[in-house]
A and B are shown apart, each in its own frame.
Chain A
Amino acid sequence: MIEVRIHGRGGQGNVVAAYLLATAAFTEGWYAQAFPAFGAERRGAPVIAFARLNNKIIRRRCQIVSPDFLIIQDEALLHIPGIINGLKPGGRILLNSVRSSEAFADTLDARVVTLPATQMAKEYLGRPVPNTALLSAFLNLTGLLPQAALEHALEQRFQDKVLEKNLALIEAAAKKVEHNQWQEVANA
């Protein structure tokens, strides 16, 4: 079972990211579960969402304490104490940042990969919503699901221009990272 914890802020589409991930996984035949760390979300406040992917039914409903992956939608969230707590040994972090992965090597060591997702979202969508770009990069890094699965999940949620722009965005985002770089972790 693969457990992903997504950190973000109200308004960044945090829960949507978890839902998209689970939906994409479901379309590829996985059993998946996604849910927010239920909160009275206000725009800008730090929020958490979870996604579980498994090859059999998932019955547990507890929060993800020891994720395999962290997706952090905002570099500033790193200032929140304990944000990477519980990450499994060997676990990986996808961080939304304009800086290179190396810039975080000191604090987060080699586990981190960065993506200028907000910048890209602004460019492609006209709005600073980093979630789909990060998801795309995540899928490409892990090789868990084909890009088409995410496209399919997006098609269920978005339409017309927004969908088109997102599809262009995820295509671009995928190219920004190295395919299957985290495959090993994902298959562990």
Chain B
Amino acid sequence: MNTKLKLTRGGFAWGDTSCNYHTGTWRVQRPQHEYRAAPCHASCPAGEDPQAYIALLDSGKPQQAWEELVSINPLPAITGRVCPHPCETGCNRGDYDQPLAIHSIERYLGDLAIEHDWAYPVTAPPADAPHIAVLGAGPAGLSAAWHCLRNGLQVTVFDEEAEAGGTLFTIPNYRLPDDVVRAETRRLLKAGINFTADFKLGREMNLDELQRRYAAVFLAPGVMKSSEWSIDGVTPRDLHQGLHLLKEWGDVGALPPMKTAVVIGGGNTAIDIARLLVRNGVDTHIIIHSSMPDPAHPLADDMRAMPREINQALEEGVKILNHHGIKRLLLRGEKVTGIEIIRMRKLPDDNGKLHRIAFDGTESILHVDQVIPAIGQIVDQQGMEDLVHGEHHIKVDAWGQVAGSENVFAGGDAIDGNGGTVTEAVGNGRMTAQAIAMKLKQQGLPVIEPPVVVHYENLNTEYFEPAPRAEQAVLPVAERVGETEIEAGLSVQQVEKETRRCFSCGSCLSCDNCWTLCPDNAVLKSKKMAADGSYYVFDYDYCKGCGLCAMECPTGYILMVEDI
């Protein structure tokens, strides 16, 4: 007891004096802010952090939001249109009402940047910076180039075509208008990427020479060659591959004459060509042994095409024969007149591995005058035979480094195990550029650890309320003619509402919950962001460690840790 303490008459006390007593000494656990990845972030093949850019957009900073977005993916206007958005599948909001329309927001930001011609945020590399060669101006190449630039490297992109874009131009205009591709890629190149057109490896230059001239080479040639296709060795004379037809349509705007067709395959290329055929008056079937996608029960053998695209294709009149396979071709001479199809399914064996099983007695005949395979493409080996070794794809490690080659990297559709999406290609490009930068700095490449993800159970959803998801306006089927883009972007008002739906999983929402609910006033609010990325500071002088803030944090951003 302090003997010098002067007491007050009648036992009154001056206000605020309890602050002299630090209740923090009572604590055995302490709250701390801990950023954890939102599932949208963790599930994005490109590595985007939608939670982060949606937060900025929600805060009324659209340009900063776009800059945050393109710091990962430089092609948001494109991916916002064509990505199958696994981010939305992962979105925790899906467990509450409906997932956030992340792809629509991504597209909105991409379009907004084009509209305002926002400059890509990067500083020019020094003149003596290492120079990187990127082969292929598709999404993987452009992404790699962009990230090399961001890593302070000089970069030149080489492409066979006259303009950058690569495989993006094979996506029909009604899904991805060429104008959008051009607008985004040209703006990106303007950020400081050198572009050399009409360059074919093995024709203008060999790989060896590239390797000699450049500090590193990134190969992103895509898969422009179609896989061989036959039924029991039989191939029709006038066989057209799906990708080939799409490219031809993009280049010349014409298709071979046909009345009925069957497209073989369940990927986006199959859907694209089927929809193109329907638009041109062709009675079109897709035949696929996989299942139709069902978001409720995702199966390993679902069609790979995006559900949205499949639905639109069905709306437009494409007929899909799922769980079917082709048993033989009906030919008149070498020309197709039809196919014999049979019901089949992929079923798991005792080890859980899927096998295709055909069911005898279910055969039937489908009369068509074109059979169009769209079952996948392979890499064109020209100029890099030594790397590919006769395989269909290039083999790389997790960082994109080609096995056995010190300064050659690869990414995009051309590498082995790639899912074939634009977004995945962008992700490969980014990772590889990072690896190149580290390699050039003599840094070792770390093992890639999966991020710690915030799950739905980690959230406190009592602080949210149901709100319908923003849907992009879709043209009615009758108006879907020619090349007109089917889906419109979200309006500003829609975006405002949609961003507000974001749970901000694993990041501070600056909602004031902790500040408001702490019974001990031990959470302080700050105008400036604190070092840990929040706008709140725990006052450990007074925090008793009750854990109420952690329990009531809506985003799972506060964790209680032992503190003895």
A and B touch in the complex (CB under 8 A): no
Interface residues of A (CB under 8 A from B): none
Residues of B within 8 A of A (CB): none
